[in-house]
Structure 1
Amino acid sequence: MREALIVWGGWSGHEPEQCSAIIRDMLEEDGFKVYVENTTEAFADPSVRDLSLIVPIFTMSKIEKEELSNLTAAVEGGVGLAGYHGGMGDAFRDAVDYQFMVGGQWVAHPGNIIDYRVDITRSDDPIMEGIESFPYRSEQYYMHVDPSNEVLATTTFKGDHAYWIDGVVMPVAWKRKHGKGRVFYSALGHVASEFEVPQMRTILRRGMNWAAR
């Protein structure tokens, strides 16, 4: 049986506890044995290197050197890493090794909650199979991203809230390798209610399954 670890915490505005329960149910439905922790100390446990998947839901906050070292070693050794929005893409802002592993880092969400469009760029990828470009209402994430990411979906900024980014095409979802580990990220999912959007939920669910070894 595949085993997954969810570690939640950080900024409460992203509803990490509620979202962790949703993801736990999704993974259990997909046959995982799921462990849930709410402290970054869980990343320091040597047993994480035996897991199939790690899902961080920990916006901002701090991670200790030993915790990060063990986490990155686990992924480099083959453990999958998958997550979404600020829970993974805006975690541990001062930990550059973490950002190197994830493949990106949040910078801004001009206009806060707005209407925008998610464009599928890899409809041939199994994670995106059958999903067409769709409208979305949430924070539109502007990120620093690794050019080695395999981008699956993008969004285009209009410049209404920051004129200098008008027309910028920004990755929304990507997958990548970090050592032997698979890494998946989706910028969608500000709060728990966004899991009711079928495209958002399906993309994340498939991405987690893809990342898991």
Structure 2
Amino acid sequence: MREALIVWGGWSGHEPEQGAKIVAAMLEEEGFKTYVEATTEAFADPAIADMSLIVPIYTMSKIEKEELDNLNRAVQGGVGLAGYHGGMGDAFRDAVEYQFMVGGQWVAHPGNIIDYTVEVTRPDDPIMAGIPASFPYRSEQYYMHVDPSNEVLATTRFTGEHASWIDGVVMPVVWKRRHGLGRVFYSSLGHVASEFDVPEMRTILKRGLLWAARPAA
């Protein structure tokens, strides 16, 4: 049986505990045994190297060096890392090694909660199969600093309405990458738990979690 560790905490506005419960249920539906923890100390446990998947849902906050080093070794050794929105893409702002694993870091969401469009760039990828070529979304439109080595699956375009100098900028929304032997998946969709009710958001994230997870031995 594949095992997944979900670690939630940090800024409460992203509803991390609710998100952790939803993600755990999604994975359990796929036959995973899940462990849900509410402290970064969970990343320091050597046993995470035997996990199939790790899901951080931990906006901002701090991670200790020994915790990050152990997490980094686990992912480089083949454990999958996957997550969404600020829970993964705005965690541990001062930890550049963490950002290197994730492949990006949130820096702004001009206009806060707004209507925008997500464009699928890789309809041939199994994670995006059957997802509309473009779909409307209402949430924070994440402006991120991103790694050029990411394999981008979906993007969004900024209009400049809320920050004129970024008019026309195309920003990755969904990507996957490798970190050592580990698979890494990220989606910037999912500001609050109610967004899991959006079929595109839920489907993309669930498929990404499964893609990142290391196969059973």
Question: TM-score, normalized by length of structure 1?
Answer: 1.00
Q: Which amino acid aligns with 1:181?
A: G
CA–CA separation in structure 2 for the residues paired with 1:190 and 1:142:
14
- State the shift of 1:66 in Å: 0.1
CA–CA separation in structure 2 for the residues paired with 1:84 and 1:185:
6
- State the shift of 1:70 in Å: 0.1
Moved over 2 A (4+): none
- State the shift of 1:41 in Å: 0.0
Which residue of the partner structure matches residue 147 of structure 1? Answer: 148
**Residue 31 (structure 2) pairs with residue 40 (structure 1):** no
1:95-114 pair list within 5 angstroms: 95-114=95-114
- State the shift of 1:28 in Å: 0.1
**Residue 20 (structure 2) pairs with residue 26 (structure 1):** no
CA deviation profile, 1:177-204 (whole Å, cap 9, x unmatched): 0000000000000000000000000000
CA deviation profile, 1:68-94 (whole Å, cap 9, x unmatched): 000010000000000000000000000
Which residue of the partner structure matches residue 50 of structure 2? Answer: 50
Q: Which amino acid aligns with 2:91?
A: A
* Alignment RMSD (CA, Å): 0.2
Say how many residue pairs are matched.
213
CA–CA separation in structure 2 for the residues paired with 1:203 and 1:39:
27
- State the shift of 1:149 in Å: 0.1
% identical aligned pairs: 82
Question: TM-score, normalized by length of structure 2?
Answer: 0.98
Q: Which runs of 5+ in 2 are unaligned?
A: none
Which residue of the partner structure matches residue 137 of structure 1? Answer: 138
Q: Which runs of 5+ in 1 are unaligned?
A: none
Q: Which amino acid aligns with 1:55?
A: V
CA deviation profile, 1:127-155 (whole Å, cap 9, x unmatched): 00000110000000000000000000000
1:119-198 pair list within 5 angstroms: 119-132=119-132, 133-198=134-199
